[in-house]
Amino acid sequence: MPAYVFPPAVVAGEHAVDTVDILAEVKARHPQAPWLSRIDGIAASTGITTRRWMRSLEEAAAPAVSGLRVPDEPLARDALAADGFADGDVDRIVAALDAIPAPRTIEERNAPAWEAVQEYGERAARQALATAGLEPADVDCLITSHSTTPALPGLDVALANRLPLRGDVLLLPASQWACIAGTRSLALAADLVAADPGRKVLVVISEALSTTYQSGDHTLESLITRLLFADTAVAAVVTGSPADGACLRLDAAWHHTLPDTMGLHRLETRHDGVHFLMDRSGPRAVQRTVLAMWEWLRGRHSDLGWHPDLLLAHPGGTRVLEYMQQTMPEGWPAGLLEHSWDSYGTGNRGGAAVFDILERAHRSGQKPGARTVLYAAAPGLTATALEGEWL
């Protein structure tokens, strides 16, 4: 450090999905759910009325397809014939089986989402390069993250071909960073440019979190997941030397991981796609990382009157944002989380959230020298914070 960050590009999903439509789908799908009478209040408590997805609600919510789920229909016909069924009976049996709804497979869910992640990621990358006045050929390193669309090769190789990048560009994929991708990618980029100040690092995070929308899940936690997530691709350029157009200088990074918290938030891959699972004790664990971050900042600043002018934080939900407000050191001004609340009100963007919050702060206009802290926590539980100043 220091490292210099250009204003991020943010590409939101093209489909606006209203909370009222999600609630209607859930009520129709689970009319006997014990929590059904509470869902309007639960939805209101999120503060999210609309979020944007890369695909429509109808596509994401489709729970099943019709089709005979056997490896080979001719083999099934042969087996029925061998059991003495006449040709007409075989035809009727196969037709009946073919009409039974079967769960969508992970391939059917993941393939269109993965294509969207690549497309949106490319759009964000090109916008970020244009903002920095660069061409793809100027990039020396590419850092990528995408958590809900398993693929190998991943987004790094896809973008290296799509943009295209030089053959000697260092590709650093981080598919499992999830919500922490924004801050941790910037911390890694800062380390890379510290070693070589002339290096130009492109960060791209593309998340299709709506892929976790599982209509068949009937738990209360699954309902909350369906209400929270939004789809977004973001990108930004980081350099090691001051440059015209850069908006933020990063000066220090902090990392923190809580032991024995792996099960609180997790992504499971099953036959019908990916499922995001949450334990109700998760927010309290995230709060512990917030307290640890306050300690880090106190240790960096002996002046008891020091405080940030901006706090760009993605803690994942309203409970932790409220907790951050309640536990801020005495004397810190109100409104530090304004842009975080603004971003969260349009959905939890996962790893793309911090860049979205940063872009909102940039768009609203900031004074040079404004002291800024960025923070995010992710499943694990692991957290990264950064401190710097507005340029």
Phi, psi of 248 (to 5 degrees): -145, 135
Phi, psi of 17 (to 5 degrees): -120, 115
Mean pLDDT (the chain) is: 91
For residue 69, pLDDT over 60 is answered with: no
- Residue 267, preceding peptide bond in cis (omega within 30° of 0): no
What is residue 186's three-state secondary structure? helix
Q: Interior CA angle at 99 toward 98 and 105, to 5°?
A: 70
Phi, psi of 334 (to 5 degrees): -75, 160
What is residue 254's three-state secondary structure? strand
pLDDT at site 294? 95
pLDDT at site 282? 76
What is the Cβ-side half-sphere exposure of residue 14, based on CA atoms within 13 angstroms? 6
Whose CA is closest to 354, among 187, 219, 222? 187
Query: What tokens were used for 369?
Result: 């020298």
pLDDT at site 280? 75
Query: What tokens were used for 222?
Result: 């699954």
CB–CB of 147/175 below 8 Å?
yes
Q: What confidence tens digit (pLDDT) does each residue in 78-100 have?
A: 888 898 888 888 888 777 766 66
DSSP strand pairing (380-390 vs 170-173): unpaired
Query: What tokens were used for 30?
Result: 């689970």
What is residue 336's three-state secondary structure? coil
One-letter amino acid identity for 13? G
Q: What confidence tens digit (pLDDT) does each residue in 265-314 have?
A: 887 888 778 888 777 777 788 889 999 999 999 999 988 889 999 999 99
Give this prediction's pTM. Answer: 0.89
For residue 142, pLDDT over 80 is answered with: yes
Question: Residue 136's Cα: distance from chain center in Å?
Answer: 24
For residue 360, pLDDT over 80 is answered with: yes
Handedness of CA 6, 7, 8, 14 (dihedral sign): negative
- Nearest-angstrom CA–CA distance, 220 and 79: 43
Mean pLDDT score, 48-68: 81
Q: What confidence tens digit (pLDDT) does each residue in 332-357 have?
A: 999 999 999 999 999 999 999 999 99
Q: What confidence tens digit (pLDDT) does each residue in 9-57 have?
A: 999 999 999 999 999 999 988 898 898 999 999 999 999 999 999 999 9
Whose structure tokens read 């509470």? 38
Q: Which domains does the chain have, with CATH numbers?
A: 3-63+104-239 (3.40.47.10), 248-390 (3.40.47.10)
- Nearest-angstrom CA–CA distance, 301 and 166: 42
CB–CB of 293/321 below 8 Å?
no
For residue 197, pLDDT over 70 is answered with: yes
